[in-house]
Amino acid sequence: MPVSPIRTITLGLADPHPLTAETIQQVARILEAARLRYQRAGYEVQTLRLSTRPLYDDLSDWSAARILQYCLKLQDWLTEFGLEFCSLGPMQAARSDFPLARIEELAEIIGRTGSLNATVQLATAEDGLRFEAALPAAKVMQQLARETPEGFGNFRFAILACVPPGTPFFPAAYHAGPSSISLGLQGAPLVEQTLLAHQKLPGEQLDLEQVTSWLRVALIEEALPIIAEAQAFAAEQQLAFGGIDLSPAPMGEAGITTALELCGFGPIGSPGTLAAASALTAALKSTDLPTCGYCGLMLPVLEDAVLGKRWEEGQVNVHQLLLYSMVCGTGLDTVPLPGDTPASEIAALLLDVATLAVRWNKPLSARLFPVPGKQAGDLTTFSSPYLTNTRLHSLRGKV
């Protein structure tokens, strides 16, 4: 029996914006057919997602008002045809000719829709880091915190740095090339079960070379039949197969923090955490499977219940998570911030993320959650089933 639910089946669409109702209906039909195929094979499919070409590349000459009206119409079509997740791709703000004043438009697009995701790319290997793009992106995060219920609009917004097209995970997803199907796993339970199976005594320190080997074998065994189904389905639908992102996406109690701690170095944040994260990531990147996206550890504070608890305890902070991202994963994900955090401090943190991405030529992102009405020391009170609750800390240190 499969251990890992399929977190997402993502269709990357080659059609340029503006899309039509007929196109959205066709996408929904294909994705639903993919869901049914996997369900018949015994898999749980959690979400179906549409990833498009970058909206502002295709519609660069459209006014803000015209783009907003199009996005509202697109949302209506997504609702009509039962699609809950659509990524409009990044504003390519790293390009020197991209008008930074347009970044603020994303707050209204995301705030007035429920399915649309969008991002701002601050850096690429070709263009480098555009420092002045960080502050307007930070202001979008602040506006979404103020103007969406519980600040939840920030779940659908992030900054990117050196992130190429093709990842199936949101909000970073965007598409280039022929239409394709790609997959993402909720693989945290597989990692945990693999380590538990090889742990002889509770709390024992595992050999990290062996950890990489054990997990590589488990991933290959788990992913091969999933990939075979996707390749056959893609061929039937005359689509490309974009690959599988093996990143062990967490959800609630099924988080990657438990697996990291099973390596035996103590709670996350203890000495040895970086080495353990690197060992797990080495397995994700050495399977020789047709992969895509990050293929690294995700450490989202608000989506991993154990990580949220360690955050509350002060065992781990934003700077440690950024350190771990150098060897393991996606950057900073669902990191809660006091609602009164200045935009300049948020922008500085975004620059830290982008600087690491450029320096190490690896894809990183930052999805931050300024929490409206809350200060450092307060507990969050999210009602969303997708988010855990934890205590807020200042970016300048612990409470």
pLDDT tens for residues 325-360? Answer: 988 878 999 999 999 999 999 999 999 999 999 999
CA 261 remoteness from chain centre: 22
Residue 105 has pLDDT above 70, yes or no: yes
Residue 138 has pLDDT above 60, yes or no: yes
Cβ–Cβ under 8 Å, residues 85 and 156: no
Residue 314 has pLDDT above 90, yes or no: yes
What's the pLDDT at 252?
A: 67
Confidence of residue 186 (pLDDT cuts 50, 70, 90): confident
Cα–Cα distance measured from residue 172 to residue 88, given in angstroms and rounded to the nearest whole number: 9
Q: What is the mean pLDDT of the chain?
A: 94
The mean pLDDT value for 5-27 works out to 97
Q: Which of 283, 286, 300 shows the shortest CA–CA distance to 190?
A: 283
Lowest mean pLDDT among 39-53, 99-113, 249-263: 249-263
Kindly state the DSSP code that residue 249 receives in the 8-state scheme. -
Number of H helices, E strands in the chain: 12, 10
The mean pLDDT value for 150-160 works out to 96
Which residues lie below 8 Å from residue 367, measured CB to CB, with a gap of 6+? 154, 155, 157, 158, 171, 300, 332, 333, 334, 335
For 285, the 3-state DSSP assignment is coil
Count of beta carbons in the 10 Å neighbourhood of residue 368: 27
Q: Which of 160, 161, 158, 184 shows the shortest CA–CA distance to 247?
A: 184
Convert 74-85 to b/e letters by CB count within 10 Å (16 or more is b).
bbebbeebebeb
For 313, the 3-state DSSP assignment is helix
pTM for this structure?
A: 0.94
Residue 254 has pLDDT above 80, yes or no: no
Residue 125 has pLDDT above 70, yes or no: yes
pLDDT tens for residues 193-225? Answer: 999 999 888 888 999 999 999 999 999 999 999
pLDDT tens for residues 40-50? Answer: 999 999 999 99
Which helix (H) or strand (E) element contains residue 367? strand 364-371
Cα–Cα distance measured from residue 186 to residue 243, given in angstroms and rounded to the nearest whole number: 15
Cα–Cα distance measured from residue 307 to residue 78, given in angstroms and rounded to the nearest whole number: 33
